């Protein structure tokens, strides 16, 4: 980091390929391209797999809004389908049923770091862009790290992620032509071998600076510990909340060889409980928590633009209405997790009086 500052090469310098090569190597992908955010990576990836005006892209309604917005950026239509009630990821059978002649890509999201069933989606034979923004460290049931299946897979490095560069992202892929296109479009449409200020296609400024890449390189060296710290906090939560199970739905445990890359600890409250009142009661006990995540199709922009309404995706809507993200950070102690668990237990025990 200090070397970068002293070098005067704060962008378009040597730290970018160093971070990219280290990241690709760590995941077992052929290539990686550093970009200014997860959103930028998703946008460039959709363009690189050929999404155009009027196309349809099938994706999950339970995600951060960016994964649907990038489809709209290209004037394509996000086609939402319902999620699996256990993993909270896209249901491959629902995806298959939604494919039309206008479907040009699938955009599965590894929500809350749990790997989506990409192997089943691959059998549909359509281009795939994986939203792995929350899933660094996750592993598919067949042992492949998320990000190493060959399709463009996009990671995010915003300040709450497993690896952070403030803002930033990375696309991994196996196809050299996709890497070439993403590298050009992130830099205003200039190919690496072109003259200064010559541009042969439309591009963007989606570059990641050398300063940010230096932060990334340093954290890659400690990634195992960073991931283990998060998994450790999740294990403490699971133990501390064990006696509330199944009244409270905890994040699904790893199953069938899949491994979650821990990002957040989201619980689903019992049905019929006023979530906002629970969040307020937790705040009164000094515990911050958030409703997380809302269903994208029910956000006002998506209702107005695409005419979405309640009742379209019942599993997603049920989960979105009951979900609460508890405090979760890598260095949380057993005592801190215990305080959250105790507060949650006391709120749920007194839930009859909540309003
Ligand atoms: C599922 C998902 N997709 C996309 C993004 C967008 O990433 P960024 O904020 O880096 O643009 C995020 C990050 O918050 C995310 O959680």
Residue 37 and residue 153 in contact, taking contact as beta carbons nearer than 8 Å: no
| Ligand 1 binding pocket includes 63 (Cβ within 6 Å) | yes
User: Candidates 34, 35, 37, 38: which one to mutate for ligand 1, based on the most atoms within 8 Å of Cβ?
Assistant: 38
DSSP summary character for residue 327: P
CA separation for the pair 315, 310 (Å, rounded): 11
The arrangement of strands across the sheet holding 290-291 comes to 265-268, 323-326, 290-291
Q: Which of 9-18, 290-299, 309-318 has the lowest mean pLDDT?
A: 9-18
- With CA atoms as reference, report the closest residue to 344 among 320, 322, 326, 321: 326
| Ligand 1 binding pocket includes 37 (Cβ within 6 Å) | yes
The arrangement of strands across the sheet holding 56-59 comes to 77-80, 56-59, 103-107
Q: Which residue has the higher pLDDT, 166 or 36?
A: 36
pLDDT band at residue 219 using 50, 70 and 90 as cut-offs: very high
- pTM as predicted: 0.96
- Give the position of tokens 């890598």: 330
Q: Which of 14-18, 114-118, 130-134 has the lowest mean pLDDT?
A: 14-18
Give the pLDDT score at 160.
84
202 Cα to the center of ligand 1, angstroms: 24
Rounded to 5°, the CA angle 41-44-45 comes to 80
Distances (CA, A) of 323 to 55, 228, 248, 265, 271: 32, 24, 10, 10, 10
- With CA atoms as reference, report the closest residue to 217 among 22, 9, 2, 33: 22
Mean pLDDT of 132-159: 97
pLDDT band at residue 98 using 50, 70 and 90 as cut-offs: very high
pLDDT, mean over the chain: 95
Give the pLDDT score at 355.
61
How many helices (H) and strands (E) are present in the chain, helices listed first? 13, 10
Mean pLDDT of 234-257: 94
Mean pLDDT of 255-260: 98
Known catalytic residue at 290? no
| pLDDT of residue 257 exceeding 70 | yes
63 Cα to the center of ligand 1, angstroms: 9
Give the pLDDT score at 159.
82
- Give the position of tokens 């049923």: 97
pLDDT band at residue 212 using 50, 70 and 90 as cut-offs: very high
Give the pLDDT score at 113.
98
| Ligand 1 binding pocket includes 152 (Cβ within 6 Å) | no
Q: Which of 161, 179, 290, 345 is catalytic?
A: 161
| pLDDT of residue 270 exceeding 80 | yes
46 Cα to the center of ligand 1, angstroms: 15
Give the pLDDT score at 166.
87
187 Cα to the center of ligand 1, angstroms: 21
pLDDT band at residue 132 using 50, 70 and 90 as cut-offs: very high
């Amino acid at each position: 980091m200090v070397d970068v500052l002293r070098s005067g090469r704060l962008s378009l310098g040597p730290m970018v390929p160093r971070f990219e090569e280290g990241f690709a190597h760590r995941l077992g992908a052929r290539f990686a391209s550093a970009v200014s955010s997860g959103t930028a990576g998703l946008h460039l990836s959709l363009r690189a797999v050929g999404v155009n005006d009027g196309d349809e892209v099938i994706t999950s309604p339970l995600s951060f809004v960016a994964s649907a917005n990038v489809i709209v950026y290209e004037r394509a239509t996000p086609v939402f389908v319902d999620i699996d009630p256990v993993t909270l990821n896209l249901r491959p059978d629902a995806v298959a049923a939604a494919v039309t002649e206008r479907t040009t890509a699938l955009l599965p999201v590894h929500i809350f770091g749990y790997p989506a069933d990409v192997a089943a989606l691959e059998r549909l034979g359509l281009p795939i862009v994986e939203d792995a923004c929350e899933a660094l460290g996750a592993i598919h049931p067949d042992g492949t790290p998320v990000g190493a299946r060959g399709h463009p897979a996009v990671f995010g490095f915003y300040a709450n992620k497993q690896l952070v560069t403030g803002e930033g992202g990375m696309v991994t892929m196996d196809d050299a032509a996709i890497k070439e296109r993403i590298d050009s479009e992130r830099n205003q449409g200039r190919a690496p071998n072109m003259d200064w200020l010559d541009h042969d296609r439309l591009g963007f400024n989606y570059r990641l600076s050398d300063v940010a890449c230096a932060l990334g390189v340093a954290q890659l060296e400690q990634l195992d510990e960073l991931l283990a710290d998060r998994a450790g906090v999740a294990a403490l939560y699971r133990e501390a909340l064990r006696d509330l199970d199944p009244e409270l739905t905890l994040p699904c445990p790893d199953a069938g060889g899949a491994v979650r890359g821990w990002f957040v600890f989201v619980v689903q409250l019992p049905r019929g409980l006023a979530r906002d009142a629970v969040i307020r009661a937790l705040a009164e006990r000094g515990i911050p928590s958030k409703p997380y995540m809302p269903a994208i199709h029910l956000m006002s922009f998506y209702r107005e633009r695409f005419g979405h309404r309640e009742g379209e995706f019942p599993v997603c809507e049920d989960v979105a209405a009951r979900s609460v993200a508890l405090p979760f950070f890598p260095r949380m102690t057993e005592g801190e997790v215990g305080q959250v668990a105790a507060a949650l237990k006391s709120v749920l025990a007194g839930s009859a009086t909540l309003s």
